[in-house]
Amino acid sequence: MLKKAIRNPYFIFLPFLFFYAFIIFINKWPKLYGDEIRYADFAWNLLHGYYSPKPPHINLWNGPGYPLLLVPFMALRIHALYITLLNAVFQYLAVVFLYKALRSVTNNKIALIFSLLLAIYPNVLAILPILYTEAFTGFLISSIIYSITLCYTRGKARYTIITGLLLGYLTLTKVIFGYVLVLSLVACLIVLLFKRNRPYNLRMVKILLIAFAVTIPYLAYTYKLTGKLFYWGNSGGMSLYWMSTPYENEYGDWKVPDLSNHQYPILFKSAEADALLKKNHAKEVNFILQHNEVEQDILFKQAAIKNIKNSPIKFAVNYYYNVSRMLFNFPYSYSYQDSAIVGNIIRGSLILWASLAGIICTVLNWRKIIYPVKFILLITGVYLLLSGALSAYPRQLDVIVPALLFWTGFLAFNLPKIRLRFKEQEGLEDIKLSDLNEIDIYAEE
């Protein structure tokens, strides 16, 4: 009994739960700041029976997934510090579920190593004391990975439903996944036209349709407010505007409406840099900000499209800079960097080269890649491609790290020779592809 308890992942990773809680206790600011205020305001709105203020001043800056989570704690007037402790629970569970997913397709050693990499990932630890969505999003990503693995290994309908529900709630939390759902669904429907392995591709379609169904009430609400179909929020236009900047020495990073930048890391700008920023953007931005929020979103998108048409090469360069910021937290417009950039470069380089090696191995062995990995790769790939088209930061990459670890962990164990693990009543047994039927629930042969 004791031996079994020690092998339980909830017990194995329990010290990290206390470690995460300690990090939050010693680093949490006494007052809310930055995006924390917005999430708390939305939760407060929900407590009073609405989400966005009424037109014309509509506020749909982010989806309702995270504010919904905060509602019961806000109702009970629980202090922000104790609400932030939820981040410790979410990060702990993210590690546990990643381990359980990896354990079902690899062995204990690989599962433990790659789960520990997530447990000690520095970027995650740095943002734990902040009441942001990242810890919760990482938990949802790990939960989806585990549930999609169960969906294909056990083949029961309830896991398909659970995966769809989790993916739908992820979309309500990070609305960029709304576009991920649509593009992924289109890709799956195209693949479904081919007769090969239809039952397994159809399962992906079912998951995506369930996820989309979860978002329909929110989309109906935004349609009622704005009169626009498929309207996820009004923050994308401004992000696309800054991403499309055609000016030299501007790298596509976000600037808040007062033309200052309070994103991390701390950015030290000279008076000359501020003057250049205002010279390039003040007239256009100040004109746009005279309109209501939905009109601002439209005008920012129009300005961005104009920039892209006039300077397509600069837009491509900015996309490159966005990818660099996701990986290395560099470069930032008109800004000096602090010494933390060194650690970001090291971590980002490891992720970059591991991913490039993984892509090569995956392409060469595509027909041997199991379906859970294929589904996660589809969602992850579309998400990262879309993230590069907006002002991007390490936060956009950090939340998807569990998916990258699941993928690379599977490759590390199974390539160049694929082995599949099936759970039996008394344990796990390795089975070679040659011992299986022509087509199995995992991979093509």
Query: What pairs with residue 96 in β-bridges?
Result: none
Are the CB atoms for 254 and 261 separated by under 8 Å?
A: yes
Residue 71 and residue 66: Cα distance in Å, rounded? 9
Residue 101 and residue 146: Cα distance in Å, rounded? 5
pLDDT at 436 over 70: no
**pLDDT, tens digit, for every residue of 321-343?**
999 999 999 998 887 777 778 88
Of 239, 237, 267, 270, the residue nearest 253 (C-alpha) = 239
Q: Give the whole-number percent of the chain exceeding pLDDT 70.
A: 88
Are the CB atoms for 262 and 330 separated by under 8 Å?
A: no
Mean pLDDT across the chain: 87
Q: What is the pTM of this model?
A: 0.90
pLDDT score recorded for residue 107: 92
Instruction: Give the domain ranges of the chain.
Output: 2-226+393-435
**pLDDT, tens digit, for every residue of 366-422?**
988 999 999 999 999 999 999 999 999 999 999 999 999 999 999 999 875 544 443
Residues 6+ apart with CB under 8 A from 31: 80
User: Can you tell me which residue has the tokens 């992942």?
Assistant: 9
pLDDT score recorded for residue 417: 55
pLDDT score recorded for residue 187: 94
Count of beta carbons in the 10 Å neighbourhood of residue 426: 6
The pair of structure tokens assigned to 233 is 């929020």
CA atoms in the 13 A half-sphere facing the CB of 326 = 24
pLDDT score recorded for residue 4: 62
- How does strand 427-432 pair with strand 419-424? antiparallel
Q: What is the mean pLDDT of residues 66-95?
A: 96
Of 238, 239, 223, 16, the residue nearest 112 (C-alpha) = 16
**pLDDT, tens digit, for every residue of 284-326?**
999 999 999 999 999 999 999 999 999 999 999 999 999 999 9
Residues 6+ apart with CB under 8 A from 361: 411, 415, 416
Q: What is the mean pLDDT of residues 248-269?
A: 59
**pLDDT, tens digit, for every residue of 138-191?**
999 999 999 999 998 887 889 999 999 999 999 999 999 999 999 999 999 998
**pLDDT, tens digit, for every residue of 120-131?**
999 999 999 999
Helix (H) or strand (E) run with residue 384 in it: helix 371-387
Residue type, 298: I
pLDDT score recorded for residue 441: 42
Q: Is the preceding omega at residue 56 within 30 degrees of 0, hence cis?
A: yes
pLDDT score recorded for residue 195: 66
